[in-house]
Amino acid sequence: MKLMKTVLTASAIVAMMAGSAYAKQLIYCSEASPTHFDPGMSTGGNDFDASARTIFNRLVEFEHGGTAVEPGLAETWETSADGLELTFHLRKGVKFHTTSYFTPTRDFNADDVVFSFERQYKEDNPYHAYLGELQYDYYGAMAMPAFIKEVVKVDDYTVKFVLTQPNAPMVANLAMDFASIESKEYADALVAAGTPQNLSTAPIGTGPFQFVDYQTDATIRYQAFADYWKGKVAIDDLIFAITPDTTARTQRLLAGECDIMSYPNAQDIASLKANPDLLVLDQPGLNIGYMAYDTTKAPTDKAEVRHALNMAINKPALVEALFGTGNAVPAKNLIPPTMWSYDDAIVDDPYDPAKAKEILAANGVTEIDLWASDRVRSYNPSFARSAEIIQQDWAAVGVKANIVQMEWNQYRVDGAKAGRGGAFQIGWGGDNGDPDNFFAVLFGAAAIGTQNYAMWNNPDFEAAIKAGVIETDPVKRTAAYVKAQEVMNAEAPAFLMAHSTIYVPMNKKVLGYTMDPLAMHRFDNVDVAE
Amino acid sequence: MLQFLLRRLALIVPTLIGITICTFGFVRLIPVDPILAMAGERGVTAKRYAELVIKYGFDRPIWDQYFIYLGQLLRGDFGHSIVSHRAVVLDFVTLFPATLELSFFALIFAIVIGIPVGIIAAVRRGTWLDQGLMGTALVGYSMPIFWWGLLLIIFFSTTLGWTPVSGRIALNFFFKPVTGIMTIDSLIYGNWPAFFSALRHLILPSIVLGTIPLAVIARQTRSAMLEVMGEDYVRTARAKGLKESRVVSLHALRNALIPVVTTIGLQVGVLMGGAILTETIFSWPGVGRWMVESIFKRDYSVVQSGLLLIAVIVMVINLFVDILYGAINPRIRAN
Amino acid sequence: MTDTNATTIAPTVPIAPIEPFRRASGLGEFWYYFTRNKGAVLGLVVFTITVLIAILAPWIAPHPPELQYKDAFLKPPSWLGGDPRFFLGTDPIGRDILSRLMHGARYSLVIGAVIVTMSLAFGIAFGLLAGYFRGWVDVAIMRLMDLILAFPGLLLALVLVAILGPGLENAMLAIAVVFQPHFARLVRGAVLAEKTREYVTSARLAGAGPIHLMIRTILPNCLAPLIVQATLSFSAAILEAAALGFLGLGAQPPTPEWGTMLATAREFITRAPWVVTSPGLCILITVLAINLIGDGLRDALDPKLKRS
């Protein structure tokens, strides 16, 4: 047995050496295939991990490990006195990638910025609908069309965003992945060649890694960009090994096939932490798992019924069963405790099945749809499991829950349709550290049909989130969002489940990796010990 | 012989047509708009929808639609995938070699172990060895392979670390695929470490996929051997004083293998079905896993065309086995 | 002599030999040969126990299969140091595994029975019609059977479920469709062989109509291979249904079907292997027992075919 193992290991070592001598390689086991490599049209964390954070840069960027914004492709910026103009002064001497399919002839300049945004709002831009039915979802979800009037080139290295009204979070929004900067030169060349879709399959950016190859559903390969404006990163070869099955992902990490992985099973955390070869980093996630009630359709159109349904669920037991001990904290507000404006004074619905049964019987509630999907999310490791637990809790108070099971992509499309009814399980990971990113995006009236799965339209809530966006004084903004939390607590458009901790297990030879509150996986500051 | 060949080919045609009718009907039976399913698009504008109706002939009578569909198939247009936004046939050609390679090695495993086991059991008929081997074969035949695969992964990959967890080859190796078959491609590039890495990755999946064919082949070989060994010409050989091993190998085996060849051929369909489960467990990037995921993702264009392509391939392989059987079976050859 | 059609198919179920059946001299001879096969007897014993457990499950299961114990998530079996209330441990949401397995036996056995019954019904009907009437009826039916057999079994079942929607009933229907060509061919072959025999001719001369001839005269003589095939299909049906459940297209959670239980247990392979081992073991044991019985039946029903 020992001989066999030695022979096998020896052949593996020979294999590795033959494969990549002297190059520093990092293998990241990711949890899903990217739909494509255009961050403007993507919505999944895994899409952004694979494109925005490797190949692209943005005007401003989030700092490593935090949500503060730092200069990116823009060196400085200022807002006009009336708050309607946001001017960025761009960095000079930034180069685009040179690959086997494209060689840039000029450096990055304002044209690229203008193109990157115009394609998202101008209908006559050749890239506005270049991928069939796909749209710039994030641009729409963040209500950018309502806030941005136009993006103007002032000169080669100055760009101005003209807004329709003052918008406090706008700079933070521009650090988000959908605002990644593409190369206009490359885009024009592709249109001329008649192959615009290549923008999303053979991408060109200014980022720390350049695209080498994608084998569908298997591996993505990147190479360090030698002329990166921040200086070439430590890793030479970056490989994404796409492994959707969580157990397989963990096993690959244990076997040394990957150096770092995303989203381990909650129940494996303890054993991973105990493993002497591994390091498990963790951080409270800027996320929320919840269940949105359809507030426009009976029986969940009455707040009383929604409160009753909430009271029937044993939340601490649910969180424990779902995440394991200590991996998540039951939620009483939409935003996590780590976020500013969190209102700790809010009192959650108590666990009172007797009272719940009374109210539900009085309202004649006997049946309800409960939606679940198959994708593993950081805010919910198993929709199916949480559905079964909630189903049981509701059965105990006389409500029969029909579990509606659907594949992830179809799930989010069908879940947003008018007339859906019932309870829809979903969640959210914050994108920019701003409460607006939670309240407005998830429960604002403008998001009905996209992210507002509760179809909720409450005037008090709308007033609160509007104030939160327009005000620039942090004290006033905090007050606005506290009001938003109070309204949500009173009306209960959703059952708030938990805020989970994000874990990133890695081999001890991976150095410098920083946990990211926005659950990004970034490798530009990572090194590998020999 | 030629007549036999032609008769065989003639039988294929109605089955082929039947298969295309099935897949044609399939996309009209699913609970989703067939036009959108075939075009591989979601949420199109009214204008685009009108274009698609004309393109796929949905304004024409059903017979016309069928012929339009046939025409597209003959032109190589198998539709577009909603998920990958590529032509289905492109995705199929990328993924099929993985399934082919896996099935091939699974079959080799089943034959190399199954036939000798069957022979030994037949020769040692009635002994504990025979009963033990056949008992094990029956267990293998009754095994839920999705569970068997999970067990093997726990034991050999995670606990012992002898075999890799998933993937077709170690991630260090990167070469543009030529045939798509890792073992062949690595040899084309002359990369021996890559070749051995590919083999290592094939071990567990091949064992899992090959378990049921192995059991069937072992049992069938034993039956065929027993039947043949009772025949007159074998008894004559024994009476002539030939050594038992020569009797077995020279006379009995050759004739016993004829029905076994048929059995092996029949396992192709089993392999395709088993590949679905094996690929799912090992995250093997082949067409089996692709079909399952496409059903979940409502990528009906893929399901329809994948079904067609796989059925046609299985049919072609069966035809080949039929011809082979006809060639080696002296009774048919003599006709 | 080879059935020219047999070589173009790729069955997922073995085909029992289509030898003409000579009426065994009574049940006694059959039982004698059957019990001589130790494996078959063992299979019968295990199967009977399984059936009993399935029937009595609601009364003998220690806990309700749907009840979630909030204080006992993922406990190991009691004899491995877990909670003494749960002999085989609990699943991730606190349900007793032993109780779920017992109720799962009901599902598996009923699934197998329903599928085999449906396949038998259609297969016999098609086979009788094709074999008796010959001509274009025969050609049409056999072409249809060939068509179904041209598709790999599990794949076709998958696609049928894709059309009908996931769920246990649809999965059973899909598998039944996939299996019935085997019965059809079997019955057709037997009918063809029996049709020319004297007892059939004399019955026809006595004025029996075709339906009477098919069902009352010919069919009883085809029973032996049909029984063997039905038994082997029973075990194959359980496996296929479990496979569909494992893929998420069969029985849906929280149904305690063994395959579905395996699917939800996959992510606990390292942390709680007992959640994975027990359902799989149940499938294996049940299917093995039925296959042993099937082998024994085949050997006993025609001693001339006995292989050992």
Tell me the ipTM for this assembly: 0.85
Predicted pLDDT at C286: 95
Q: How confident is the model at residue A9 (pLDDT cuts 50, 70, 90)?
A: very low
C139 in contact with chain A, both atoms CB, cutoff 8 A: no
Asked if the model's pLDDT at residue B235 lies above 60, the reply is yes
Q: Quick check: B148 and B139 in contact, CB under 8 A?
A: no
Predicted pLDDT at A1: 52
Residue type at position A491: E
C139 in contact with chain B, both atoms CB, cutoff 8 A: no
**Chains near B, with 3+ CB pairs < 8 A?**
A, C
Task: Please state the pTM of the whole predicted model.
Answer: 0.84
Predicted pLDDT at B255: 76
Asked if the model's pLDDT at residue B158 lies above 70, the reply is yes
Residue type at position C296: G
Taking CB atoms and an 8 Å cutoff, what residues of chain A touch C275? Answer: none
Predicted pLDDT at C187: 87
Q: What is the pLDDT of residues A14-50, one digit of tens each?
A: 444 444 457 899 999 998 889 889 999 888 888 999 9
Q: Quick check: B210 and B202 in contact, CB under 8 A?
A: no
- Pairwise CB contact (< 8 Å): B144 & C292: no
Which CATH superfamily hosts domain B92-333? MetI-like (1.10.3720.10)
Predicted pLDDT at C14: 59
Asked if the model's pLDDT at residue A499 lies above 90, the reply is yes
Predicted pLDDT at C4: 36
Q: Whats the size of chain C, residue-wise?
A: 308
Question: Is the Cα torsion angle A126, A128, A129, A134 positive or negative in sign?
Answer: positive
- Pairwise CB contact (< 8 Å): B144 & C153: no
A222-226, B36-40, C22-26: which is most confident: A222-226
Q: Quick check: A427 and A287 in contact, CB under 8 A?
A: yes
- Pairwise CB contact (< 8 Å): C162 & B147: no
Q: What is the pLDDT of residues B108-136, one digit of tens each?
A: 999 999 999 998 998 888 888 998 999 99
The neighbouring-strand residues paired with A502 are A283
Distance CA A299, CA A307 (A): 12
Q: Quick check: C62 and C97 in contact, CB under 8 A?
A: no
Taking CB atoms and an 8 Å cutoff, what residues of chain C touch A246? Answer: 267
**Percentage of the residues of chain B whose pLDDT score is greater than 90:** 26
DSSP character at residue A351: -
Q: Which two tokens stand for residue A12?
A: 């593996």
* Least CB–CB distance from C152: residue in B22, B141, B314: B314
Q: Quick check: C103 and C254 in contact, CB under 8 A?
A: no
The continuous run of DSSP H or E covering C8 comes out as none
Distance CA B8, CA C152 (A): 20
What would the mean pLDDT of B264-275 be, rounded to a whole number?
84
DSSP character at residue B230: T
* Least CB–CB distance from A12: residue in B42, B170, B296: B170
- Pairwise CB contact (< 8 Å): B147 & C249: no
What would the mean pLDDT of B6-15 be, rounded to a whole number?
81
Predicted pLDDT at B330: 65
Q: What is the pLDDT of residues B54-111, one digit of tens each?
A: 777 777 788 888 888 888 888 888 888 877 778 889 889 989 999 999 999 999 999 9
Residue of chain C nearest B280, judged by CA positions: C247
Question: Is the Cα torsion angle C145, C146, C149, C150 positive or negative in sign?
Answer: negative
Helix (H, G, I), strand (E, B) or coil at C269: coil
Distance CA B79, CA B85 (A): 10
- Pairwise CB contact (< 8 Å): B269 & C262: no
Q: Quick check: A427 and A377 in contact, CB under 8 A?
A: yes
Q: Which of B19, B26, B123, B266 has the highest number of chain C CBs within 10 A, making it the mutation to test binding with C?
A: B266
- Pairwise CB contact (< 8 Å): B153 & C308: no
Q: What is the pLDDT of residues B293-323, one digit of tens each?
A: 888 888 888 888 899 999 888 888 888 877 7
Q: Quick check: C266 and C276 in contact, CB under 8 A?
A: yes
Taking CB atoms and an 8 Å cutoff, what residues of chain A touch C93? Answer: 321, 385, 388-389, 392
What would the mean pLDDT of C167-191 be, rounded to a whole number?
90
Q: How confident is the model at residue A393 (pLDDT cuts 50, 70, 90)?
A: very high
* Least CB–CB distance from C153: residue in B15, B269, B307: B269
Predicted pLDDT at B250: 67
Asked if the model's pLDDT at residue C18 lies above 60, the reply is no
Q: Quick check: C1 and C18 in contact, CB under 8 A?
A: no
* Least CB–CB distance from A252: residue in B165, B191, B297: B165
Question: Is the Cα torsion angle A222, A226, A231, A236 positive or negative in sign?
Answer: positive
Distance CA C288, CA C295 (A): 10
B12-16, B265-269, C158-162: which is most confident: C158-162
Distance CA C302, CA A243 (A): 52
Least confident range from B242-246, B255-259, C94-98: namely B242-246
Taking CB atoms and an 8 Å cutoff, what residues of chain C touch A389? Answer: 68, 93
Q: How distant is the alpha carbon of residue C6 from its chain centre?
A: 21
Cα dihedral: A230, A233, A237, A239 (round 10): -80
A384 in contact with chain B, both atoms CB, cutoff 8 A: no
Q: What is the pLDDT of residues C270-294, one digit of tens each?
A: 778 888 899 999 999 999 999 999 9
CA distance A328 to chain C (A): 16
A221 in contact with chain C, both atoms CB, cutoff 8 A: no
The neighbouring-strand residues paired with A242 are A30
Asked if the model's pLDDT at residue B42 lies above 70, the reply is no
- Pairwise CB contact (< 8 Å): B283 & A132: no
Residue A215 CB burial class (10 angstroms; 0-12, 13-18, ≥19): middle
Is omega for the bond preceding C58 within 30 degrees of 0, making it cis?
A: no
A7 in contact with chain B, both atoms CB, cutoff 8 A: no
Neighbours of C51 (CB within 10 A): 14
Predicted pLDDT at A513: 94
Q: Which of C1, C147, C295 has the highest number of chain B CBs within 10 A, making it the mutation to test binding with B?
A: C147
Q: Quick check: C94 and C73 in contact, CB under 8 A?
A: yes
Name, in order, each residue with C-beta under 8 angstroms of B43's C-beta and a sequence gap of 6 or more.
A133, A413
Taking CB atoms and an 8 Å cutoff, what residues of chain A touch B167? Answer: 218, 241, 257
Q: What is the pLDDT of residues C82-119, one digit of tens each?
A: 888 899 999 888 899 999 999 999 999 999 999 999 99
Name, in order, each residue with C-beta under 8 angstroms of B72's C-beta and a sequence gap of 6 or more.
B78
Tell me which residues of chain C, numbers 43 to 62, contact chain B at a CB-CB cutoff of 8 Å: none
The mean pLDDT of chain B is 84
**Percentage of the residues of chain A whose pLDDT score is greater than 70:** 96
Among residues A462, A468, A453, the alpha carbon closest in space to that of A488 is found at: A462
Taking CB atoms and an 8 Å cutoff, what residues of chain C touch A313? Answer: none
Predicted pLDDT at A18: 45
Taking CB atoms and an 8 Å cutoff, what residues of chain B touch A131? Answer: 85
Taking CB atoms and an 8 Å cutoff, what residues of chain B touch A255? Answer: 157-158, 161, 164-165
Among residues A325, A333, A336, A505, the alpha carbon closest in space to that of A429 is found at: A336
What would the mean pLDDT of A1-23 be, rounded to a whole number?
52
Helix ranges restricted to H, chain B: 2-29, 34-39, 46-55, 62-74, 88-123, 128-141, 145-152, 182-188, 192-229, 232-239, 244-246, 253-282, 287-296, 300-328, 330-334
Neighbours of A512 (CB within 10 A): 13
* Least CB–CB distance from A321: residue in C73, C248, C271: C73
Asked if the model's pLDDT at residue A425 lies above 90, the reply is yes
- Pairwise CB contact (< 8 Å): C166 & A321: no
Q: Quick check: A523 and A238 in contact, CB under 8 A?
A: yes
A12 in contact with chain B, both atoms CB, cutoff 8 A: yes
Q: Quick check: B94 and B247 in contact, CB under 8 A?
A: no
Residue of chain C nearest B288, judged by CA positions: C155
Domain with CATH 1.10.3720.10 in chain B: 92-333
- Pairwise CB contact (< 8 Å): C73 & A314: no
Most distant CA pair in chain A: distance in Å?
A: 76
CA distance B189 to chain C (A): 35
Name, in order, each residue with C-beta under 8 angstroms of B298's C-beta and a sequence gap of 6 or more.
A407, A410, B32, B37, B82
Residue of chain C nearest A251, judged by CA positions: C270
What would the mean pLDDT of A249-275 be, rounded to a whole number?
89
Interchain CB contacts (distance < 8 Å): B and C = 160
The mean pLDDT of chain A is 89
DSSP character at residue B156: I
Strands across the sheet containing A148-155: A74-79, A85-90, A158-163, A148-155
What would the mean pLDDT of C238-253 be, rounded to a whole number?
88
B170 in contact with chain A, both atoms CB, cutoff 8 A: yes
Q: Which two tokens stand for residue A346?
A: 């809010």
Q: How confident is the model at residue B153 (pLDDT cuts 50, 70, 90)?
A: confident
Taking CB atoms and an 8 Å cutoff, what residues of chain A touch B84? Answer: 216
First to last CA, chain C: 24
CA distance C32 to chain B (A): 19
What would the mean pLDDT of A501-508 be, rounded to a whole number?
94
Asked if the model's pLDDT at residue C307 lies above 50, the reply is no
Asked if the model's pLDDT at residue A132 lies above 90, the reply is no
Residue located via tokens 């080879």:
C2
CA distance B30 to chain C (A): 5
CA distance B82 to chain C (A): 16
Q: What is the pLDDT of residues A87-119, one digit of tens each?
A: 999 999 999 999 999 999 999 999 999 999 999
Helix ranges restricted to H, C134-222: 135-150, 153-164, 168-195, 198-205, 210-212
Predicted pLDDT at B44: 65
Predicted pLDDT at C25: 56
